[in-house]
Amino acid sequence: MKKNRLYWTRNMIPILCLFGTCLSFASRTVSEAQAGLFSSDNLLRMAFLPLAFFSILYFSWKWNLFRRVIIPAPLTWIFLFWFLSAFAFLNNNWLSYSFVKWVEYFVAFMGAVYVASMTQVDDDFSEKALNAIKLFVSFLILTVLVGIIVSPTKALYTGENSYSAIRNALLPVLLSGWIIPLSSTSVGMLSGILFYVLIVEKLSIRERASLGECIWEGCLIACIILSQSRTAIFSVALAFLVYFLFFYRGAVLKLLLFFLGIVVVVFGASTIMTFLLRGQSRDLLFSLSGRAEWWTYAWNYFLKSSWFCKFFGNGFAAGEKLVAAQSNAVMYTLDSEWFAILISNGLLGAFLYLMFWLSTIKQIFTAYRIDRSNVILAETVGVLLIIFVRTFTVTTLAVHSYYVLICFFAICALCHTQEQY
């Protein structure tokens, strides 16, 4: 039994190394990224990159996966998105930065192909990869909670600097991670993803949660609320709505939740709106905290670009940095996956990225027709929906990040559920 556990631990080494490629201990501004590619804060991330690359090659060779590679259909579009973005290197002022991000993305793609191909060796490997993701996200949230205990002033932002509107909010704090830098949006999104998966698992097996599990789920809810991420709250609520409408079969719980929702909306609408405003005006809320202004600037920048930049972009992961650096607005990114890809990867990249999501949706409908009661299917649909909603307000999958691994591994598990039938 011990030997079997060690056996599978070794096969998970590439995935552990991939997690390491996401770790960074400080967020850098546009000017800092432009000034130097490497810093003491991202050396660990850079060190894990070759480890992940060579470990994937080694275990693929060990299990003879090169002759039986499995690439899930949606990830075929991701490969084309990555490969054809190389043309943007011909017109790129951030060449070194763009190249490193390009390599990072390819290694993440290799990791997904490794997970999909390893299901020929171990039928449950994609599920084990998802479990590894859950442990990794749990680790990230734990660092946030520890950060609150160690230094509440660092973890709970109260509006001392630029974002002073939070002082007038119903809840005058924003929770973020500082031990491992996580924005308030990421804290809310990662907590929401983990909370959704844990609840779906319990409802699927109809098992009561233990005291420890209830405390942990309570901590996740607290993180979602304290992050005050409107995107996270909306996307997680939408994921649960889809789950209860299309996957969950308990009529009694559905009715209770339906009437509870009506009561909350009728009697708590004013409080909910005040919470969602976060001290901002309604006009600023409806402009998505100023994002509409940034997107207008990005669109005008795109229209003025050369035909080459319109079609191929300004450089993988670098285009939006270029726009942000040249704009008068105080921003690091365009806070929209779609505009970021349009500027960085051009119309060609935007088309391929759209095809990736359309292919993913097709896979979901196919798997749903086969077996709607599959727990893995219910989990992956919710996770992918949360990530999809996030793409509209935050750059999510255009560059290597936690969300890339979560999304890619979820797609591997989704496609494997069809192969099992």
Measured between alpha carbons, how far is 225 from 192 in angstroms, rounded to an integer? 10
How far CA 339 is from CA of 302, 353, 393, 408, in Å, comes to 9, 12, 10, 21
Judged against a pLDDT cut of 50, whether residue 376 lies above it is answered with: yes
Using CA atoms, how far apart are residues 222 and 204, in angstroms rounded to an integer? 24
Q: Which of 94-103, 129-138, 210-219, 372-381 has the lowest mean pLDDT?
A: 94-103
Strand ranges (E), 159-199: 174-175
pLDDT at 159 over 80: no
Is the pLDDT assigned to residue 64 strictly greater than 60?
yes
Residue with tokens 């490497």: 38
Greater model confidence, 232 or 38: 232
Residue-level pLDDT at 317: 85
Instruction: Tell me the DSSP string of 216-281.
Output: HHHHHHHHHHHHT-HHHHHHHHHHHHHHHHHT---HHHHHHHHHHHHHHHHHHHHHHHHHHHTT--
Instruction: Give yes or no for residue 403 having a pLDDT over 90.
Output: yes
Residue recorded with tokens 């990867």: 345
CA 242/CA 147 separation, integer angstroms: 33
Closest CA to 366 of 72, 112, 162, 114: 72
pLDDT at residue 366 in the model: 92
| Coil, helix or strand at residue 313 | coil
Contact 100, 28 (CB under 8 A): no
Closest CA to 20 of 38, 54, 36, 43: 43
pLDDT at 8 over 90: no
Which of 14-23, 276-285, 312-321 is most confident?
Answer: 14-23
pLDDT at 3: 38
Distance CA 161, CA 153 (A): 13
Three state DSSP letters for 343-364: HHHHHHHHHHHHHHHHHHHHHH
Q: What is the pLDDT of residues 178-231, one digit of tens each?
A: 999 999 999 999 999 999 999 999 988 877 888 999 999 999 999 999 999 999
pLDDT digit string, tens, across residues 291-330: 777 888 888 889 998 999 999 998 888 877 777 777 665 5
- pLDDT of residue 7 exceeding 50, the answer is no
Question: In the prediction, which pLDDT does 5 show?
Answer: 42
The secondary structure of residue 400, as a DSSP letter, is: -
Specify the pLDDT at position 172: 85
- Round the average pLDDT of the chain to a whole number and report it: 86
Higher pLDDT, 285 or 13: 13
Report the pLDDT averaged over residues 87-116: 89
Q: How many degrees, rounded to 5, is the angle at CA 115 between CA 112 and CA 118?
A: 145
Q: How high is the pLDDT of residue 6?
A: 39
Which pLDDT score is estimated for 285?
A: 67
Dist CA 73 CA 223 (whole Å): 35
Burial of 248 (0-12, 13-18, 19+ CB in 10 A): middle
| Residues making up the chain, counted from first to last | 421
> Can you read off the two tokens belonging to residue 417?
């559920």
